[in-house]
Copies of this chain bind each other. A is one copy, B any other.
């Protein structure tokens, strides 16, 4: 069983509001269909969530009535993105079912408090592919806050213990430094938990509102500690996702789960 995270910057153009990358998402859907594995799909909110969430400062929690409207708008926008992702999956006859975090997850001061894993299991057992996504959610301390796709990965991976977690991102994998600003940045092909601990500080420059690469590294560390292998691969390059699902080698970063 696999958990696939389709990064917000792969399926949307993060610089433009509500800009869905339909062609790329269609191709990724076709690769998931071809591989035909038991999967849970998580997608980022990308430009459908971050811009309004930032405008209303939603991650800081409830401070004024206006933010309730921001919460409502953000949730509707990520639902819209989710409908577009579903459309791509349906194009390739993938029987997906969406589980919006705001109806099954509660945080407490940004940390996990309550999550209904069982609903994901029920749909998987029935033969459906659960799809979930970065969302605004209830927060017992703050009123509400933001749940990133990366937190969902941690919760679901902990429960399902998947064979692999696959991060589909807009770079070939993890680099020795930020490849967008440093042309000497080198792709790291393989990593172990210890290497990861050293790497973290180097990559802080990648951070975005929901944690970005910084949040991702923390999640990957968590997965490695659970003994789960993670692969980061470039979703813009055809067939990499398909091949990884089929157990083949591609240009990517593999992080080996810690097997004590």
Binds B, one of A99-107, A200-208, A227-235, A247-255: A99-107
Distance between Cα atoms of A227 and B64 in the complex (Å)? 37
Binds B, one of A85-93, A150-158, A212-220: A85-93
Q: How many residues of A contact B (CB 8 A)?
A: 38
How many copies of the chain does the oligomer comprise?
Answer: 2
Determine the chain B residues whose CB is within 8 A of the CB of A181 once the complex forms.
none
Could you tell me if A68 and B127 are in contact, using CB atoms closer than 8 angstroms?
Answer: yes
Interface residues of A, dominant DSSP: helix
Could you tell me if B126 and A97 are in contact, using CB atoms closer than 8 angstroms?
Answer: no
Select one of B71, B87, B97, B99 contacting A97, CB under 8 A: B71
Determine the chain B residues whose CB is within 8 A of the CB of A127 once the complex forms.
65, 68
Judge whether A73 is part of the interface by a CB distance below 8 angstroms.
yes
Determine the chain B residues whose CB is within 8 A of the CB of A95 once the complex forms.
68-69, 71-72
Distance between Cα atoms of A144 and B97 in the complex (Å)? 12
Binds B, one of A8-16, A18-26, A74-82, A189-197: A74-82
User: What is the minimal beta-carbon distance from A93 to any residue of chain B, in angstroms?
Assistant: 6
Judge whether A163 is part of the interface by a CB distance below 8 angstroms.
no
Distance between Cα atoms of A73 and B98 in the complex (Å)? 11
Distance between Cα atoms of A108 and B98 in the complex (Å)? 21
Which residues from chain A sit less than 8 Å from chain B, CB to CB?
62, 65, 68-69, 71-73, 75-76, 79-80, 82-83, 86-87, 90, 93-100, 102-104, 106, 116, 119, 122-123, 126-128, 138, 143-144
